[in-house]
């Protein structure tokens, strides 16, 4: 069975925002990765190094608040559309099925593929302009 979590995009203040959310919800970050920590073939300009590539904060028994800073080369995150619905699946087959279904009539922005962070991951905007992330984390 898949799980759904909110994923928020920021314009350089993801770390500050998530420190705030941590103060409100409590708990500990399960992931906090900066752009300077990524594999060399995926690096950005040094000015982006301290920005958050990915952060995860459990905020309930089945919910994880996730987010990142949008690299300047991708443009600005626009308030109101600066979020995605992230679906975590239990298998690559389930990821393929959900990704194929959600992308019908929509636009694939990143095809499902094995990533350097250990997930099978893809992104799309569905036919109703809702942004989705689909992933399976390899054990």
pLDDT value at residue 36: 87
Domain at 69, CATH number: 3.10.180.10
In degrees to the nearest 10, what's the CA dihedral of 2, 76, 127, 110?
-60
Q: In this predicted model, what pLDDT tens digit does every residue of 44-74 receive, in sequence order?
A: 777 888 899 999 999 988 899 999 999 888 8
DSSP β-bridge partners for residue 99: none
Q: How confident is the model at residue 88 (pLDDT cuts 50, 70, 90)?
A: very high
pLDDT value at residue 1: 76
What pTM, to 2 d.p., does this model score? 0.78
Q: What is the domain range of residue 113?
A: 3-137
Q: What percent of the chain has pLDDT over 70?
A: 96
Total structural domains in the chain? 1
pLDDT value at residue 49: 85
Q: In this predicted model, what pLDDT tens digit does every residue of 10-43 receive, in sequence order?
A: 999 999 999 999 998 999 999 999 988 876 656 6
pLDDT value at residue 9: 94
pLDDT value at residue 2: 85
């Amino acid at each position: 069975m898949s799980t759904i979590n909110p994923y928020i995009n920021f314009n350089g203040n993801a770390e500050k925002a998530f420190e705030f959310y941590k103060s409100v919800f409590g708990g500990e970050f399960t992931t906090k990765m900066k752009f300077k920590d990524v594999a060399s073939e995926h690096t950005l300009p040094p000015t982006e190094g301290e920005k958050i590539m990915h952060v995860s904060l459990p905020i309930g028994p089945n919910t994880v608040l996730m987010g990142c800073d949008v690299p300047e080369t991708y443009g600005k995150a626009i308030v109101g559309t600066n979020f995605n619905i992230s679906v975590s699946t239990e298998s690559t087959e389930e990821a393929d099925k959900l990704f194929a279904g959600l992308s019908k009539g929509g636009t694939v922005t990143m095809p499902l593929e094995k990533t350097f962070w250990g997930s099978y991951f893809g992104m799309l905007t569905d036919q109703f302009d809702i942004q989705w992330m689909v992933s399976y984390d390899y054990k």
